[in-house]
Chains A and B, each alone.
Chain A
């Protein structure tokens, strides 16, 4: 029969000869392989002291960005919450009052913005949906906690630190 792939191999189960049954040559070549490893450098990273660098496109904790003047970019349009497959994002919008122009970039802003980190699957669809470039998943691993309520992250944890004060 013609083979369907180029990787076809003929498998033969012939009985082992004497030296193969004595296992010695195979054992010696095995010892050679492991022996080489004895002189290699360990690849261990001693965790608490040394931390492994994440790759550049690692998706960690979310952060809500500010613009160049330090105003919150988010306009509470709700596209992130809509695009979220895990339905982890909830928000309550509010209207910007007079005197708050330095705080929020647009007339509408998120008074409450919450992400449930237990639901979030870190897919990154929220950052893709956002038309204002306000949300990015550029943080670290979400730290562990004892209480479920502490995994609901509000604006206190999500919004970037203000620019130079």
Chain B
């Protein structure tokens, strides 16, 4: 009993460590990918000096961030000034705890869940963590004691709250179909070809738009709108504290891509999964599922970047209009539609 418990905790620690490392590496190389992809979209080459194909560029960038002078403004609240970026990166990281990265994997006779914890309110947990993320931005903007930072922070807060409503409503329609809040169960239900994107295209559309707003990505990156607000909420930040904010954005992007892949695009499921699992056995089969999920996540990250280099930033009133007058009514209509259609289908015995 004791030993089993210790083994269980150790297993989870290793899993947490691996997921944490993966998140950081993905975030690091997202900065590289962003620059490279931006270059391709603009018929340029992009970073290619540090290492082969510029692969060492993120390391050089990180080194630069750490070496730069760190400034805390005289009239800033020093404690909150440090708490802000810490909170941003903390909330970005803990979202990964409930995401099912794959099926159960068997290594040397031990059965390991490829999920840190399968809580039965997984979707709620994600939403809670995401809404906490705005505190990092808010506190950072307020503690800077700078009008522009504060304006950026206020924008961030109102934007995140507005889009969280539409996001929550869009997810309700999905929950009506799945009947569970556990991400593991939602992923399991999509086994075979029952991906939720087929049943909930409008819901997914609303969800992904809100995900852009929640991660402060272009076209909704108004909190850091450099033309109007200098640098937005992180105007006063320098060196790695700024780096944490930027890093948190990339980790958020990674986690929200994972959530979208899990909720709507089948998670680790792929066509022909049972066949491949039989072929590869209980160790390599689930790992292939993890690779597939990772591929889906990378596609989403690419899409985030594609959109960033396509669409200009929204004006603030347009942003609010879109959130409140288009997305929320659409989400409610989607709920009604889902309810009606599923009731009718059930009536006819599907």
Contact = CB atoms under 8 A, between A and B. Distances in A.
Interface residues of A, number: 18
A21 B40 contact: no
Given A34-B41, A41-B43, A27 B311 contact: yes
B310 A44 contact: no
B41 A37 contact: yes
Contacts of A24: 205
B334 to A, nearest CB: 14
* Most chain B CB atoms below 10 A, which of A33, A34, A35: A34
A10 B235 CA distance: 44
B326 A21 contact: yes
Given A23-B322, A34-B306, A38-B40, A44 B45 contact: yes
A22 B43 contact: no
A11 interface: no
Looking at B45, B310, B322, the one whose CB has the most chain A CB atoms below 10 A away is B310
Nearest to A18: B326
Contacts of B48: 46
B43 A37 contact: yes
Given A21-B326, A22-B326, A23-B322, A42 B310 contact: no
Interface range, B side: 10 to 19
A98 B186 CA distance: 103
Interface string A19-62: 00111100100110111011011111010000000000000000
A42 B322 contact: no
Contacts of B307: 27, 31
B117 to A, nearest CB: 37
Given A37-B41, A44-B45, A31 B306 contact: yes
A24 B48 CA distance: 35
B105 to A, nearest CB: 35
B18 interface: no
Nearest to B308: A34
Nearest to B49: A46
B312 to A, nearest CB: 9
B311 A38 contact: no
Contact of B309 (A27, A34, A42): A34
Contact of B310 (A30, A40, A41): A30
Contact of B43 (A23, A30, A42): A42
A42 B306 contact: no
Contacts of A35: 306
Interface string B305-341: 0110111000000000110011000000000000000
B45 A42 contact: yes
A43 B44 CA distance: 6
B176 interface: no
B50 interface: no
B42 interface: yes
B39 interface: yes
A38 B44 contact: no
Nearest to A43: B43
Contacts of A23: 322
Interface of A: 21-24, 27, 30-31, 33-35, 37-38, 40-44, 46
Given A22-B322, A30-B311, A33-B310, 15 more contacts: A21-B322, A21-B325, A27-B310, A27-B311, A30-B310, A34-B309, A34-B310, A35-B306, A40-B43, A41-B43, A42-B44, A42-B45, A44-B43, A44-B44, A44-B45
Interface of B: 37, 39-45, 48, 205, 306-307, 309-311, 321-322, 325-326
